[in-house]
């Protein structure tokens, strides 16, 4: 199975900061990489699909890039409402795998 | 609009079989390319994909759990059912069902989740 290594596991940043999270796949997954936001007690919410496509209704401060094995998720200007845990998720033709998550907090 | 809702027991005993039902609306699992999946999340831990079922009844399972899982659908009731055998306390988690839209592999709509505790 393909493993997803997500880093960092947590980060603390100030409002307005640029925040970057990375996800590395153990094998080439083309652009089959998605990003979710999960707030406490809630189901995850899709933000980015196919590595770089912004889901409808998601603010443009969220973005994604990458292909192959290395992917990046960016919040261009952190807002208080962005406090959450973020997960990457891959698909390899048979199974799906999530990364370990990144907890984003306000400094 | 698309909605999904999980239902099942909140508490199961070790060694028992868990049966969860996902009841959905706003789409049909007879539509080509559509899929419904089950994902779980132990308290304070990461998400873990369990299984999904395709519109054409193809089924896919987590490698580590496939011997314990069975997924099925009832298109007349708009339901997807997951059974997990031989439950253990480590299976304590919130279980979610989610839709995978046509010809894609991301989860665009999720249920609210149901917490299942495994304890004697």
SS (H, E, C) A73-104: EEECCCCHHHCEEEEEEEECCCCEEECCCEEE
pLDDT tens digits, B2-35:
999 999 999 999 999 999 999 999 999 999 999 9
Cross-chain CB nearest to B63 (options A1, A34, A50):
A1
CB atoms within 10 A of CB A39: 13
For B59, the closest chain A residue by CA position comes to A94
Render pLDDT for B36-85 as a digit per residue (tens, 0 to 9).
999 999 999 999 999 999 999 999 999 999 999 999 999 999 999 999 99
Q: Is the pLDDT of residue A3 over 80?
A: yes
Rounded to the nearest angstrom, the minimum Cα separation between A18 and chain B is 24
* Contact between residue B18 and residue B83 where contact means Cβ atoms under 8 Å apart: yes
Q: Which residue of A has its CA nearest to B37?
A: A96
pLDDT digits (tens, 9 = 90+) for B97-118: 999 999 899 999 999 999 999 9
Contact assignment for B52 to A94 by CB distance below 8 Å:
no
């Amino acid at each position: 199975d393909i493993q997803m290594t997500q880093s960092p596991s947590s980060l603390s940043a100030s409002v307005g900061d640029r925040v970057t999270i990375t996800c590395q796949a153990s094998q080439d997954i083309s652009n089959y990489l998605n990003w979710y936001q999960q707030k406490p007690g809630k189901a995850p919410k899709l933000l980015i699909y196919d590595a770089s496509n912004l889901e409808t209704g998601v603010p443009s401060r969220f973005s994604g890039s990458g292909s192959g094995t290395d992917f990046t998720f960016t919040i261009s200007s952190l807002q208080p409402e962005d406090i959450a845990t973020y997960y990457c998720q891959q698909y390899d033709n048979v199974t799906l795998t999530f990364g370990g998550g990144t907890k984003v907090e306000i400094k | 609009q698309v909605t999904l809702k999980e239902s099942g027991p909140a508490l199961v005993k070790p060694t028992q079989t868990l049966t969860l039902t996902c009841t959905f609306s706003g789409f049909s699992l007879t539509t080509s390319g559509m899929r419904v999946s089950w994902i779980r999340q132990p308290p304070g831990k990461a998400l873990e994909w369990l299984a999904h079922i395709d519109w054409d009844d193809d089924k896919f399972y987590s490698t580590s759990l496939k011997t314990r899982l069975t997924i099925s659908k009832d298109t007349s009731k708009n339901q997807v059912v997951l059974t997990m055998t031989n439950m253990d306390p480590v299976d304590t988690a919130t279980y979610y069902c989610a839709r995978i839209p046509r010809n894609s592999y991301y989860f665009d709509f999720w249920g609210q989740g149901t917490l299942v505790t495994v304890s004697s």
